[in-house]
Amino acid sequence: MSNSETVKTVKRRRVFYIPGYDPFHPRRYRELYRKEAAAQAAISGYEIALTPKTTKGPYGWHVTSVQDDHQVESDIEVLVWSDLVRDSMSNSIPATYLQLARTAWIYIGSGALFRLMRLRKGPVIAALYPVAMLLAQLALAILAFWLCLQVAGLASTILTEFGATLVGAIGGAVAAVFVLRWFRARDGKFFAYYLMHDYAHTAQNRGAIPNDLRERLESFGDAIAGALQDPVDEVLVVGHSSGAHLGVSVLAELVRAGRVPAGGPALSFLTLGQVVPMVSFLPDAHELRADLRDLCQSDLLTWLDVTAPGDGCAFALCDPVSVSGVAPEGKRWPLVISAAFTQTLSPETWQTLRWRFFRLHFQYLCAFDKPGDYDYFRITAGPLTLGERFYGRAPSKSRIEKAVSRFTSVAAA
């Protein structure tokens, strides 16, 4: 991290955004950036504009911004894995319930769930919500089946007892399937299937990286390594939600492989609303724990971790390296700070959003009414590198650094 006497103005920047577990087309992130950047610029008094991308990446956009009397050009690229997400969500209703049983067994049987509860109860409640919701839906389907049997039983004086039971069973099965399909069709409101698929995808290999995702991460690494050879001032990697631990793995491998040139652009890593412990606390997350251990010591990058206690879907102010039990003596990163929603959003905005949990989980990518030192659009389009912008910034006093994970191995047994 540079000091205030050697600050270099950023004129060109490459930004790589790694989404969380999201099945939607990356254009939603462009539209979100366009809308929220305009709102933040109006509040903060700078200029920002989007145009079509100028790089070779699969999906992105170009940003021109004038901040603090400096014009900055930033190319933002989305590192896409939404196709893998969609594939993991293409399960039938029975398969989803099998996922539920297996995922619950992995987290409960390994003890990871109880360790996670020692950190923050919000994300654990969020993890338990789809389990409870899906079981409630199943209970209603069973109730519908039972009611049909009872109604059919009343007709036993007309039909034979066997006939009444058969009619009731068939009718009950149809009613039960209808109930389950009705809820599934409306999961855009309930998010039970979506979240269940998310946690099942995380736990499918007990924390080990799935092969298809491993290949995608290698392509992410190649894209970032290529940008580090470009004539730019900063290469910024942003990992949101589940994208945070993917970014950790990508950058740790680049550092180990010697693919971060010492004289190249500043390499910066911004994690937002991270849920790293949901993976790193699992028994077979050896690689991720090794990546956390290695990346936190590197002097080749700056790593800032931003969360907020108001975000019930993130492990707010939990140092992902320390709580995973892999912090070495030479630990440098991440710098853990709070986005402090209750302070950076107006009372009116906070009242509007405080119970909209999924919207709050994306607030890091949005405009703030009263921005503090965290401003997503200054970081991604402003004239300072991440290291320069947060030079001398003290970490949050309320951060959690106690090692909590039961599993701390960094190599498979």
* CA–CA gap between residue 123 and residue 387 (Å, rounded): 29
Task: Give long-range contacts, CB 8 A cutoff, 24+ apart: 372-378.
Answer: 372/339, 372/340, 372/343, 372/344, 373/337, 374/306, 374/337, 374/339, 374/344, 375/40, 375/44, 376/36, 376/40, 377/36, 377/37, 377/40, 377/41, 377/44, 377/48, 377/65, 378/44, 378/46, 378/67
* pLDDT > 70: percent of the chain: 95
Per-residue pLDDT tens digits for 19-51: 999 998 899 999 999 999 999 999 999 999 999
Distances in Å between the Cα of 149 and the Cα atoms of 34, 136, 159, 180 are: 56, 20, 13, 18
337 contacts 271 by C-beta, under 8 angstroms:
no
Q: Quick one: pLDDT band at residue 352, thresholds 50, 70, 90?
A: very high
Distances in Å between the Cα of 93 and the Cα atoms of 88, 192, 370, 395 are: 13, 12, 44, 45
Per-residue pLDDT tens digits for 230-268: 999 999 999 999 999 999 999 999 999 999 998 899 999
Give the DSSP H/E element, type plus range, for residue 386. Answer: helix 386-389
Strand order of the β-sheet with 47-52 is 47-52, 60-67, 70-78, 12-18, 234-240, 266-272, 302-307, 335-338
* CA–CA gap between residue 311 and residue 307 (Å, rounded): 7
**265: cis peptide before it, omega within 30°?**
no
Strand locations in 328-385, DSSP E? 335-338
Residue 157 has what pLDDT? 57
Q: Which residues of 115-127 are buried (b: 16+ CB within 10 A; e: fewer)?
A: bbeebbebbbebb
The two tokens of residue 90 are 């293409």
Residue 90 has what pLDDT? 72
Q: What would the DSSP string read from start to end of 151-184?
A: HHHHGGGTS-HHHHHHHHHHHHHHHHHHHHHHHH
Q: Which residues of 393-402 are buried (b: 16+ CB within 10 A; e: fewer)?
A: eebbeebbee
Residue 154 has what pLDDT? 63
235 contacts 268 by C-beta, under 8 angstroms:
yes
Per-residue pLDDT tens digits for 260-278: 998 899 999 999 999 999 9
Q: Quick one: pLDDT band at residue 302, thresholds 50, 70, 90?
A: very high
Average pLDDT (309-327) is 95
Contacts of 328 (CB under 8 A, 6+ apart): 293, 296, 297
Task: Give long-range contacts, CB 8 A cutoff, 24+ apart: 351-360.
Answer: 354/310, 357/126, 357/311, 357/312, 357/313, 358/191, 358/313, 360/308, 360/310, 360/311, 360/312, 360/313
Cβ count near 107 (within 10 Å)? 25
Residue 108 has what pLDDT? 93
Q: Quick one: pLDDT band at residue 311, thresholds 50, 70, 90?
A: very high
The two tokens of residue 337 are 């700070």
Domains in the chain with CATH codes: 10-84+211-389 (3.40.50), 87-201 (no CATH)
Residue 321 has what pLDDT? 98
pTM of the model: 0.92
